[in-house]
Chain A
Amino acid sequence: MNKQVRIKINNSDYLMYDDITVLMACRNAGIKIPTLCYLEGVSQRASCGLCVVEVKGAKSLMRACVTNIREGIEIFTNTKRVRQARKTNLELLLANHPRNCLQCNKNMKCELQSMADELDVRECNYPNIRKRKVPVDNTSHSLFRDHEKCILCARCVEVCSQVQTVDAIEIAGRGMDAHVTTFFDRGLGNSECVNCGQCLLVCPTGALMAKSEVDSVWSEIDNPEKFVIIQTAPAIRAAIGEEFGFPPGTGTTGKLVAALKKMSFDRVFDTQFSADLTIIEEGNELIERIKTGGTLPMITSCSPGWIRFAEKFYPGVLDHISSCKSPQQMFGSVAKTYYARKLKIDPRKISVISVMPCTAKKFEARRPEMTSAFEYWKKELNLKDKDSFPDVDYVLTTREMADMIREAGIDFVNLSGERFDSPLGMSTGAATIFGATGGVMEAALRTAYFELTGSRLPKLELEEVRGLKGIKEASLDIKGKRINVAVSHGLKNARQLLRQIKEGKSPYHFIEIMTCPGGCIGGGGQPIPAGYEILKKRIGALYQEDQEMQIRQSHENPAVMELYENFLEKPLGKMSHKLLHTNYTGKGIYI
């Protein structure tokens, strides 16, 4: 049992439960303690030394993040000794850190930089003594690490291990040689890394960044030969506002569309269109699996980090994963086939750009099998293998998109809302909630229920699968048949559901797995910071938008219906399989 203890902070008395650290006690008392390496609930390595406080009776300064409170403890957070020590510790970190902040992608958004300002560090007299120069890690399609900027706080290591249980990185070497790296410095692209980018969300410096595709996208826009289509994922509209000073949870769909139109993309479309399409295909796949005794539970396939995770860690469950491509990839193949034909444009002249909340999508777009449009046109246009082109050409993160909007001189804040272009910009509320954990499940059940019963779900909102609980469950009666579902987000939580499957004890028919905490709205491509409270607000914005949509079920999307009528024919049909489905490979890396 925790008991209450009397403590003193800066000579004021407090009564607090004794199961907390000095850091938490100070926060509870409204006193700010600076931290760089600490990450609530994830990491307390006590490596940065900024949270030091004086404790009466203790010889040395104590690190608040790893010191527990006790009866009678007297803490001082603002003495000369404390201020001096914090400054010195920060100066020591800065000594080995490059000073070219102006050129850094994290300029003005860097925790280290703001900390230097906050602690009033105006000079740094320590020499840079980091000797060994480890080359930048450029091996991944999604992420990029510049060791020189790293301050070895190890937040990335802890997130990769504690939240995602991927363990792709660790601190290797000692002293001056210490650096965060993969097995034998082979690089993230040659490791277990699933490209989720949770590491870069918590990096306090510019050491970890998403691979930028901004320059390539500008070139596409500037190329008069190219017909440039942009698609934006559901989670973007609930977060990009933060980049322009709106409070978290502000839906900015109209402004986003307006900004993209001003940037002279030829068409501004919506990944939500293909999210609806995903629901039709995936819903039918689920029904077919249930009816024909196929592999159950079926697991969603929208999250490319999860797909990579399965391929590397759970090759045994690949049969359980829906063969549906993710909405991003479905959009790419539809745009370069159906839409190209409709507009009578050579598919090779079309460039499909995505805006994604996700760093793993950059990897996904480059998977060699994601060239369905090329395969489709191969015969007709007499193409050789060397002429191959990807379904999706470039992937921007929410942050990169915001950078481009700023660079284009667009006054995002004061834009009046505009609407997506037709037809691939048409979508429903079911697609909007894809961006939140549980959203795909809810959207799929709305449609599956209709497909099986011919009527609308009595209540469209499936509250059981909403919210930020690690694993959520629901059970639904559809025409006398119980359908059990589960939803997880954050890969650590996924492991629980996967273990059940491996042991043959999974009680579910359908499982949604999202790589990132909170689902796509918490993706590695989203605005920084992205704490728990911010995630909740972004999720709120998506549900709000769903509520306000006229059409809230994927199977009622008229543009998707038209696509089936004029092109695909029927769900899971021959054309669908060619363009909208895929298969997975992976032998796993552990025996």
Chain B
Amino acid sequence: MNPKTAGKIDGIIKKHSEGHGRLLGMLEEIQRENPHNYLPADSLEYVARKTSIPYAKIYGVVTFYSFFNLIPQGEHCISICRGTACHTKGSKKILDFLRKNYEFEGEDTNDAKLFLTTKDRKLTLRSVACFGQCALAPVVEIDGDIYGNMKVETLKKIIEKF
């Protein structure tokens, strides 16, 4: 790991030096600071070495919360709802449009648990069980913002503006 990243992590560890849940706060910030929005193994090793929190415990935490990513993420993240309401309103069509038009890497076997990123790391595609916004179906989340009544055309325009 380069000294710059190490220094950054040192600072983050220092900020979260006390209290319950300090590990969560730490990891959240380290992921946010990472240019690819994920937690590389060497960063986690560094946290373990510096905090004496056991390696396996850290791995247990980062694999428990779906919020944490262990593989590099695209610059932009699109989450498609695959709940019942969104499905009947055509979320599958949106999903297939993205699949067809972008070159994703990763295991693409389960629509309900999709987690793919394009080769150029521009775009990450995930599926979500439900956003709780069924009245707006189909719902798509793009970089943290929720979009209702999504259509393939609209999505295409948004992506073009990225």
Contact = CB atoms under 8 A, between A and B. Distances in A.
Interface string B48-59: 111010111111
Residue among A161, A172, A177, A191 with the most chain B CB within 10 A?
A172
A174 B54 CA distance: 19
B49 A170 contact: no
A546 to B, nearest CB: 39
Contacts of A589: 48-49, 55
Interface in A163-192: 167-174, 177, 181-184, 191-192
Contact of A183 (B50, B58, B64): B58
Contacts of B55: 167, 182-183, 191-192, 589
A591 interface: yes
A168 B48 CA distance: 12
Contact of A170 (B50, B56, B66): B56
Interface in B27-80: 41, 44-45, 48-50, 52, 54-60, 63-64, 66
Contact of B56 (A169, A174, A177, A590): A169
B50 A191 contact: no
Nearest to A183: B55
Nearest to B59: A183
Nearest to A313: B52
A182 B60 CA distance: 9
Q: Give the bracket for the number of chain B residues in contact with chain A.
A: 10 to 19
B64 A174 contact: yes
Nearest to B50: A591
B64 A182 contact: no
A99 to B, nearest CB: 27
Most buried by B among A168, A177, A183: A183
Q: Give the secondary structure class of A's interface.
A: loop
Nearest to B65: A174
Contacts of B44: 183
Nearest to B60: A170
Contacts of A172: 56, 59-60, 63-64
B49 A591 contact: yes
A168 B56 contact: yes
Contact of B59 (A170, A174, A590, A591): A170
B41 A184 contact: yes
A589 B54 CA distance: 10
A590 B54 CA distance: 9
Contacts of A167: 54-57
A171 B56 CA distance: 8
A191 B50 CA distance: 17
A129 to B, nearest CB: 14
A216 B70 CA distance: 40
Contacts of A169: 56
Contacts of B41: 184
B64 A181 contact: no
Given A173-B63, A174-B63, A181 B49 contact: no
Nearest to B54: A167
A169 B55 CA distance: 8
B128 to A, nearest CB: 15
A183 B49 contact: no
Nearest to B57: A170
A24 B108 CA distance: 50
A514 B57 CA distance: 25
A489 to B, nearest CB: 22
Nearest to A174: B64
A356 B41 CA distance: 37
B63 to A, nearest CB: 4
Contacts of A168: 54, 56
Contacts of B63: 172-174, 177
A174 B68 CA distance: 13
Contacts of B56: 167-170, 172, 181-183, 191-192
A192 B60 contact: no
Contacts of A184: 41, 59
A461 to B, nearest CB: 40
Contacts of B64: 172-174
Nearest to A589: B49
A237 B44 CA distance: 45
A183 B63 CA distance: 10
Given A182-B55, A191-B55, A192-B55, A171 B49 contact: no
Interface in A190-219: 191-192
A172 B66 CA distance: 12
A152 to B, nearest CB: 12
A167 B52 CA distance: 11
Interface in A386-439: none
A181 B58 CA distance: 12
A173 B66 CA distance: 9
B127 to A, nearest CB: 16
A183 B49 CA distance: 13
Contacts of A171: 60
B6 to A, nearest CB: 11
Among all A-B residue pairs, the 6 with the closest Cβ atoms: A167-B54, A170-B60, A183-B55, A170-B56, A172-B63, A183-B59
Given A182-B59, A589-B49, A591-B50, 20 more contacts: A161-B54, A167-B54, A168-B56, A169-B56, A170-B57, A170-B60, A171-B60, A172-B59, A172-B64, A174-B64, A181-B56, A183-B44, A183-B45, A183-B58, A184-B59, A192-B54, A192-B56, A589-B48, A589-B55, A591-B49
28 contacts: A167-B56, A168-B54, A169-B56, A170-B54, A170-B57, A170-B59, A172-B59, A172-B60, A172-B63, A172-B64, A173-B63, A174-B64, A174-B66, A181-B59, A182-B56, A182-B59, A183-B45, A183-B48, A183-B55, A183-B56, A183-B58, A184-B59, A191-B55, A191-B56, A192-B54, A192-B56, A591-B49, A591-B50
